Amino acid sequence: MKITIRDVRVILTAPAGINLVVVKVETSEPGLYGLGCATFTQRWTAVAAAVTEHLRPLLVGREIDRVEELWQLMYQHSYWRNGPVLNNAIAGVDIALWDLKGKRAGMPLYDLLGGKVREGAAVYRHADATEIKAVEERIHGFLAEGVRHVRVQIGGYGGKSYENAPPPEGALAGSYFHPRQYLRATVAALEKVRGTFGPGLELIHDVHERLTPALAVELAKEVEPLHLYFLEDLLPPEHLAWFANVRQVCTTPLGMGELFSSPQEWVPLVSGRLIDFMRMHITAMGGLTPARKAAILGEWHGVRTAWHGPGDVSPVGHAVNVHLDVASANFGVQEWSGFNEALENVFPGCPQLRQGYAYVSERPGHGVDVDEALAGKFPCQAVTETWTQSRLPDGSLGRP
């Protein structure tokens, strides 16, 4: 007898103060359900509506085993496609279906993906402060925990607010940054960290796509002597053709993909060998189904994975990242934000970090569950983001 989808529900919770979206697919088999991450924290209500109002009516009554079929159906059903709201909604269902498949098989998700090629996934942590001394203190702390890859920022994304570059009279409020001063401060900070910690520390820096293309090329060339593990999100999706310019002038390794939602963004960069690490947000690209295909594409083209892993990914999403990491031959490193106590209580089975490596549960599926009653004690909050209201010195908007 075929098992079918009985209901598709959305669980909204914010145990760490970040709005998370989790999808629960309930089945015709009593007690059998799967969980998937659908977190798009800046548009969480839109994702919840897409799941409840559009995907649920489409999916109820369909067979849970047909994961590829259902992904294709969800992807094409709205006719317009490849947007982050819809992709996150699809991802929530897709990951839940993979979770169900693992539970039915009695196998951890990594076994469904071909089995482990490593026991744990090396992670990188985020060292950011307004002063370089504090950045180095954070790095010392990470090294003591066994972490060997560190992302270095000075004054946040885009750097400090620079008082010697005031905006014009009447300029609107926002998160101001000065591209040229940010570039100089970043190079200086990376040089200081390399000098302090030597060649054994793997360094990463996140540009967060804030520079003009010409300045981005300049930064990549400036940091080449520092031998970064990779330079992260150097250019925005609107300027992907500029990656060819970077390749022409330097060998700095490049990681890209956080804002991608369409294969038309990552496929040309991977097949053209224009980046070294793909780091898409797995739910924004549509879930595990497209992510595993992208990982294989990368393997064939010499591009490694470094999936996006910030705080605005639920523990379910983090678990999926690590399952892919341990099963992918071309894994590079995993971004790691960590879990507070509330997250670990709401989501039993969170991946664990030990001596610089992330490990997943050995339970069937992705191994993460949810305490819905406890999740309800951490309601999501409606906020208007300020960090994405970035502005240049003259007061005009700059992409974050």
Ordered per-residue pLDDT tens for the chain, 400 residues = 799 999 999 999 999 999 999 999 999 999 999 999 999 999 999 999 999 999 999 999 999 999 999 999 999 999 999 999 999 999 999 999 999 999 999 999 999 999 999 999 999 999 999 999 999 999 999 999 999 999 999 988 877 665 567 889 899 988 888 999 999 999 999 999 999 999 999 999 999 999 999 999 999 999 999 999 999 999 999 999 999 999 999 999 999 999 999 999 999 999 999 999 999 999 999 999 999 999 999 999 999 999 999 999 999 999 999 999 999 999 999 999 999 999 999 999 999 999 999 999 999 999 999 999 999 999 999 988 888 898 998 989 988 8
Q: Are the C-beta atoms of residues 257 and 290 closer than 8 Å to each other?
A: no
At what angle are helices 179-197 and 132-144 packed, to 10 degrees?
50
Tell me which residue of 280, 286, 265, 277 sits closest to 330, measured CA to CA: 277
In the three-class reduction of DSSP (H, G, I as helix; E, B as strand; rest coil), residue 343 is classed as helix
Helices (H) and strands (E) in the chain, counts: 14, 15
Q: Are the C-beta atoms of residues 171 and 394 closer than 8 Å to each other?
A: yes
Query: Catalytic site residue 157?
Result: yes
Query: Catalytic site residue 208?
Result: yes
pLDDT at 164: 64
- Among candidate residues 157, 182, 229, 357, the one labeled active-site is 157
Q: Are the C-beta atoms of residues 312 and 319 closer than 8 Å to each other?
A: no
State the residue for tokens 């009447």: 170
- Among candidate residues 126, 205, 208, 366, the one labeled active-site is 208
What's at 56, amino acid-wise? R
The span from the CA of 389 to the CA of 311, in Å, is 19
Tell me which residue of 17, 78, 79, 80 sits closest to 51, measured CA to CA: 78
List of residues 6+ apart from 329 with CB closer than 8 A: 117, 299
Q: Are the C-beta atoms of residues 6 and 60 closer than 8 Å to each other?
A: yes
The span from the CA of 262 to the CA of 250, in Å, is 27
- H or E stretch covering 390: strand 390-391
The span from the CA of 306 to the CA of 328, in Å, is 11
Tokens of 200: 């054994």
Compute and round to an integer the Cα radius of gyration of the chain: 21
The span from the CA of 359 to the CA of 86, in Å, is 30
Please state whether beta strands 33-37 and 20-27 pair in parallel, antiparallel, or not at all (unpaired).
antiparallel
The span from the CA of 97 to the CA of 289, in Å, is 10
Burial of 205 (0-12, 13-18, 19+ CB in 10 A): buried
Write down the CATH number for the domain with range 117-361. Answer: 3.20.20.120
Q: How many Cα neighbours within 13 Å face the side chain of 68? A: 2
pLDDT at 159: 75
Q: Are the C-beta atoms of residues 314 and 344 closer than 8 Å to each other?
A: no
The span from the CA of 201 to the CA of 27, in Å, is 48
pLDDT at 161: 62
Instruction: Check the CA dihedral 37-254-115-285 and report its sign.
Output: positive
pLDDT at 158: 75
Tokens of 250: 């330097």
